[in-house]
Amino acid sequence: MLEIVEDMVGRHDFLLTPCSVDTFDHFYPDLPRHRGCFGNLAEALAPYGVTPAQIPTAFNCFMNVPIDGETGELKVLPPISKAGDHIALRAEMDLIIGLTACSAPDSNGGTFKPIHYRIEA
Ligand SMILES: [Zn+2]
């Protein structure tokens, strides 16, 4: 459906589901409740007939989730990307895609910087 045609970082995540209010309740109980990426995607995709149950595991661009080779433990570490890095994807078919900038502190090293995107026809 999508082809990666350019990738300046080479580290992304396909394992973790979008963060959600449950993520914040479990991992960040001292922070205000937040609907997270899942809530953002659910609202953005609803006008296209996509229900919350249809939202799959996300392609987490730039998210750094290494797997310990011995224990299999996952860790969420700060991204290795730096300002100006980008990934370019080519759609091979018509797609409905939701984008969300993650607000879970662990997925971005505790910083919340703007993420830019561009769609070219
Ligand atoms: Zn998130």
Q: What pLDDT, on the 0 to 100 scale, is given for residue 105?
A: 87
Q: What residue type is assigned to position 45 of the chain?
A: L
| DSSP 3-state of 5 | strand
Residue 32 lies in a domain: yes
Give the distance (Å) from ligand 1 centre to CA of residue 60.
9
Give the distance (Å) from ligand 1 centre to CA of residue 84.
21
Residue 113 lies in a domain: no
Residue 115 lies in a domain: no
Give the distance (Å) from ligand 1 centre to CA of residue 18.
5
Residue 80 lies in a domain: yes
Range of the domain at 32: 2-108
Residue 104 lies in a domain: yes
Q: What pLDDT, on the 0 to 100 scale, is given for residue 111?
A: 78
Give the distance (Å) from ligand 1 centre to CA of residue 71.
25
Q: What pLDDT, on the 0 to 100 scale, is given for residue 30?
A: 94
Residue 114 lies in a domain: no
pLDDT digits (tens, 9 = 90+) for 76-92: 998 899 889 999 999 99
Number of domains observed in the structure of the chain: 1
Residue 49 lies in a domain: yes
Listed in order, strand segments (DSSP E) in 39-94 are: 87-91
Q: pLDDT by residue for the chain (121 residues), tens digit each?
A: 999 999 999 999 999 999 999 999 999 999 988 899 999 999 999 999 999 999 988 999 999 999 999 999 999 998 899 889 999 999 999 999 999 988 888 887 777 777 889 999 8
Phi, psi of 26 (to 5 degrees): -80, -50
Q: What pLDDT, on the 0 to 100 scale, is given for residue 88?
A: 97
Give the distance (Å) from ligand 1 centre to CA of residue 121.
27
Would you put residue 5 in left (φ > 0), alpha (ψ -120 to 50) or beta?
Answer: alpha
Residue 61 lies in a domain: yes
Report the predicted TM-score, pTM, of the whole model to 2 decimal places.
Answer: 0.86
Give the distance (Å) from ligand 1 centre to CA of residue 103.
5
Cβ-contact 79, 62 below 8 angstroms: yes
Q: What pLDDT, on the 0 to 100 scale, is given for residue 25?
A: 93
Give the distance (Å) from ligand 1 centre to CA of residue 36.
5
